[in-house]
Amino acid sequence: METRPFLVYKSSAGSGKTYTLVKEYLKIILQEPQKIRNILAITFTNAAAAEMKERVIEALGDISALAGKEEIQWKGKGKGLLEIIQNETNLQPHEIIRRAELALTLILHNYGDFSISTIDSFVHRVIRSFAFDLRLPLNFDVELDQKQLLKQAVDILVSRAGSDPALTRLLVQFIEHRTDQEKSHYIEYDIINIADNLMDEKGSFYVERLKNISLDEFGKIHRQLDEHIKAFEKKVSMLAADALKIIENSGVDEGMFFYGTRGLPGYFRKLVKGDIAKGIVPNSYVMKTIEEDKWTANKADAVTVAAIDNISGQLKDVFYQIANSAAHGLETYMVQGLVKQNIFPMAVLSELEKVIDEIKSENSVLPISDFNKKIAEIVAVETAPFIYERIGERFQHYMIDEFQDTSGLQWQNLLPLVDNSLASGNMNLLVGDGKQAIYRWRNGDVEQFASLPQIPANIKAQARELWQATLQRNYNEQNLDTNYRSRQEVVKFNNSFFEFAKELLPEGLDKIYQGQEQKFRDDKTGGFVQMEFVAADDDTELKYEELTRHRILDTIIDLQEKGHPLSDITILCRSNKQASEVARFLLENGLNVISSESLLLNQSPRVNFILSLMKLLNNPSDNAAYVEFLQFLVKDRKISTGLHDALHALKAHQTGNNGDVFSLEALENFLQQQGIKFSFGQCLYMGFYELTETILGSFIPRKPIDPFVAFFMDVVYDYNNKFVASVSGFLEWWEENATKFSVVVPEGVDAVQVMTIHKSKGLQFPVVIYPFADTGFSKLSKNGEWVELENIPGTEPLDVAWVRISKALYETRFEEVYTEEQGKTLLDTLNIMYVAFTRAVDKLFVFSKYPGKSSGGDNVPTLLVNFLQQRQVFQDGQDIYSFGENHITERESFPDGSLNDASAEVFGEYISSPWTEKVSIRSLQAEKEPDIRSAESSERGSMIHDIMERIHTLDDVEKILQQMLQSGRIDESEKDILHSKILGVLKDPLIQPWYAAGSDARNECGMYDEQGRFFRADRVVLQDTTAVIIDYKTGEPYPQHAQQLNKYASVIKKMGYSDIKKYIVYLDHGKIEL
């Protein structure tokens, strides 16, 4: 039987698609180990590529470990893999082991040939190799931060306003256009949002077609469209005005018509007012009047009825004239309006594209999004693209993971390679799951996976038909239908829910969920699913979001009581905002949380409070900072008034004439009245880090510590060390870098994970909590689409346009754009739910809310209720529905019987005190004495201390003094004097033993007491439980010298040394005091 080599594995969650990909990789290299360099495996993230490399090497290692053992000793993963590969390749076991050893050696010795990478890395390599042919600079840099490139381009574009007349007119008109739409006149942000289309595969193709249209032509198109639109509106309005004139001349009150002003008169009046787009389609009352001759209201008398009958024919004629105008011109009018709305944004896009081209050319940079576009330009017009000549010779097998997230351009660029490989009879493999396609916003096209072996219509390459025939001829579809991840109840719930939910999908998209039901492993019984509708509590004023967070906390506590460590639990949210709010709430309630994207420091109220105070110091006239500062104090209940009263009181404390601008003096007086002592004046003389600690100590409790504040202090510390620190400099730096810093909990700590659903893809967790399952289907995932313009008067020379996707597309040639996006948005939502639901191994908790009466049923809550009704378990008033048993989980224990609990108090008390209490700065001045000592004497004392600090044994004296002589710090005569004096003291029997070689001696020995105060003794020698403290002094003896030594002794004694010996050595007098 002929084997078709184009293997396509359609999988579901937990079905082992990565395992399958690794297995197929092994089958190739274990038949021919040298083929390691001939296989290209493509994934979509660096982490996935690293994991796959690791799994291939681990698998080869497991098989190789069987070498030299008897078959009876074979066990573990290696044995299982060996049996599978033996069954599927007919290779003998010992031959498989030998080849696994060879393959592993080849990989380790030729790691560069081990080609498992992201698709971007592969395409980058191709472009680097053919940079000259692609007319690119040979030394081009890759721009990964595309947002930054856009921001730079927007800044350049806006800066040209005023010097470029046409551009200036365009930007002014754009601002006016936004003002008409009641939107912000701050256009930079809006332009960046629009410009995201440039980085979109499809959008950049259309923007390229706008380049030949000048700014003046865009202005002309706008005027032409305006003229056409007004002409149609004028025509319809004049007809409607004629009808109203007929009614007016008849003397009949409009309320006497059928349904009065909601009937025919109201229809004409709407059109006269200019509400053409919405008003031109008649309602049912108007149609009954026209079609069924229902002209008069029941209250109309005979005279009125006769009068209306008399003019009914004329009104019908006008109605039909309007209807005729609508039939021949309404659709064109609607399209013209849609195009006109976006003329200025399109013109800005066109100019922005030109600026980006300038930046790329001047700086020799290439955005990562351009990689596939560059290759696609060649692939589209060549049947055998020259850029693949070398690649095609090397790689014979292509293996693509997560194919459902592949974009149209990426697939188009890979098709020539796959086609060439299949033509030689080589195995190629795609693995994917359409139900986990959640990256459409990154150009992922799940439909091209669902339609295999067909090639999508949007791929218009010259060799398309050839590629299509090759794929069909070699297509071999396999299904992975067993869930190895989740327990039985979780799998059964997901099977039934998504089998029900897929009925919502429109025809064509429903095939993505075809055959979605999974089998489960017999040894994975049990499991638990709970669905809860969070209902408002009459006893509290908590909103739905707050109630949900409280229910999450309750659920976590219950899970802990059932034996789950926090590390078992993961909370999955749709957005970073939701994840951040949940993470903060759990931290505030004493739970450890791990979350990279949800614990950003700039989302902490306390961090923002510290920043508001910095803003006040930097700019005392910043009224917004005053409001932010006081708002925090009000919410934190540090002041006894509300915000309004606080601001009023602040104005009352003003000493100047300008009552509109607050002052730091007035704020300081207000704080003192509230019992808060804080001096803004003193802050001006502090170092930056000291200032931040002062703010923290004055306003924020040290215990329990706020982890956001602790990590923010680390940021301040690092900034203080790296830069010339100032408040203004830090605020400017923070503005640009705030989103880079978050709370980080170290690995190994027992903590709840909080992450977005997108980040969870490919992962699994014992317990999953999915809150806020309340998404609506009516809010579309995409807000706009590019369309081709044909036979639309007024648009010339524009042949493409970007239009907003809305109900306004109904009754136009672009209606299908709207209905398609509705279906795709629904699919996006179901896929997000599928990924969230299928991460759970043991237990799944879903929190939603009851559908609102005005929601229209187009949302997830309604879907959940309908599912429960279909299962015949839904009951009014019941909030919680469970499937399976929420069993107690056995905790793993150590050999000593203690529970394996990695929890730790990650954040304790924030220890901080003024640096003056912790750091002693030794003065170069001599110690204070009754007489004023000379500068020469002071310098001499400092030098002697320096010498003694470096002496560890008696043998060091001569060596140290010789170094001092060579450095010029002393002369020969001084050396002799010092040598005699120092040795005379150190050879004293009282202290000579403590300078013997091998002593555990520490010069300049620093120590802290329990209050965090710092001390430094000149010399400490430790011996068992004995500690010897030696302090050197020059000058005259003083009582405080002994007090200082006693402090050292007190600190050291608390360290466990019971026998303390204390010596003060007066070097000038050759005297030692005990």
For 708-762, write each residue's pLDDT tens digit. 888 899 999 998 888 877 888 899 899 888 888 887 766 667 889 999 999 898 8
Residue scoring higher pLDDT (537 or 509): 509
Angle between helices 972-986 and 935-949 (to 10 degrees): 60
Which residue in 431, 433, 425 sits closest to 397, CA to CA? 425
Rounded to the nearest 10°, the torsion over CA 1049, 1051, 1056, 1062 is -10
In the numeric block, which tokens belong to residue 997? Answer: 């070689």
Instruction: List beta partners, residue 1064.
Output: 1031, 1073
d(CA 613, CA 695): 8
In the numeric block, which tokens belong to residue 1056? Answer: 């466990």
The pairing of beta strand 1014-1023 with beta strand 1026-1033: antiparallel
Q: Which residue has the tokens 């609102």?
A: 852
Cβ-based burial of 517 (10 A; exposed 0-12, middle 13-18, buried ≥19): middle
pLDDT of residue 144: 62
Residue scoring higher pLDDT (214 or 1037): 214
**Measured CA distances, 752 to 442, 510, 567, 579, 939 (Å):** 29, 36, 5, 12, 60
Residue scoring higher pLDDT (370 or 994): 994
Rounded to the nearest 10°, the torsion over CA 673, 678, 679, 685 is -170
- In one letter, which amino acid is 508? G
Residue 270 neighbours by CB distance under 10 Å: 16
Cβ-based burial of 686 (10 A; exposed 0-12, middle 13-18, buried ≥19): middle
In the numeric block, which tokens belong to residue 203? Answer: 């959008």
Q: What is the mean pLDDT of residues 1064-1069?
A: 81
- DSSP per-residue codes, 489-508: HHHHHHHHHHHHHGGGSPTT
pLDDT of residue 430: 95
Q: What is the mean pLDDT of residues 752-778?
A: 92
Q: What is the CA radius of gyration of the chain?
A: 39
pLDDT digits (tens, 9 = 90+) for 583-614: 889 988 888 888 866 678 887 888 999 999 99
pLDDT digits (tens, 9 = 90+) for 885-911: 998 876 443 333 333 444 444 455 566
Q: What is the mean pLDDT of residues 656-669?
A: 71
pLDDT digits (tens, 9 = 90+) for 15-27: 988 889 999 999 9
3-class secondary structure, 971: coil
Which residues, other chains included, contact 144 with Cβ-Cβ below 8 Å and sequence gap of 6+? 368
- Is the predicted pLDDT of residue 671 greater than 70, yes or no? yes
Cβ-based burial of 578 (10 A; exposed 0-12, middle 13-18, buried ≥19): buried
Split at pLDDT 50, 70, 90, the class of 945 is confident
Share of the chain above pLDDT 70, in %: 90
- Is the predicted pLDDT of residue 129 greater than 80, yes or no? no
What is the per-residue burial (b if ≥16 Cβ within 10 Å, else e) of 556-573? Answer: beebbeeebbbbbbbbbb
Q: What is the mean pLDDT of residues 62-79?
A: 89
Judge whether 751 and 556 are in contact, CB under 8 Å. Answer: no
pTM (global) more than 0.85: no
Judge whether 692 and 723 are in contact, CB under 8 Å. Answer: no
What is the per-residue burial (b if ≥16 Cβ within 10 Å, else e) of 810-844? Answer: eebbbeebbebbbbbbbbbbbbbbbbbbbbbbbbb
Which residues, other chains included, contact 216 with Cβ-Cβ below 8 Å and sequence gap of 6+? 166
Q: How many CA atoms lie within 13 A of 798 on its CB side?
A: 31
In the numeric block, which tokens belong to residue 959? Answer: 């060596």
Split at pLDDT 50, 70, 90, the class of 831 is very high
**Measured CA distances, 100 to 30, 41, 49, 56, 1042 (Å):** 6, 19, 21, 11, 76
Tell me the average pLDDT of the chain.
85
Using alpha carbons only, give the angle 411, 417, 419 rounded to the nearest 5 degrees: 90
**Measured CA distances, 331 to 493, 797, 800 (Å):** 47, 20, 17
- DSSP per-residue codes, 706-729: -HHHHHHHHHHHHHHHHS---HHH
What is the per-residue burial (b if ≥16 Cβ within 10 Å, else e) of 462-489? Answer: ebbeebbebbeebbeeeebebbebbbbb
**Measured CA distances, 627 to 603, 647, 662, 663, 728 (Å):** 18, 8, 10, 12, 19
Q: Which residue has the tokens 């919502």?
A: 504
- Is the predicted pLDDT of residue 554 greater than 90, yes or no? yes
pLDDT of residue 597: 62
Share of the chain above pLDDT 90, in %: 40
- In one letter, which amino acid is 404? Q
Angle between helices 119-129 and 408-423 (to 10 degrees): 70
The pairing of beta strand 475-480 with beta strand 428-432: unpaired
Residue 579 neighbours by CB distance under 10 Å: 26
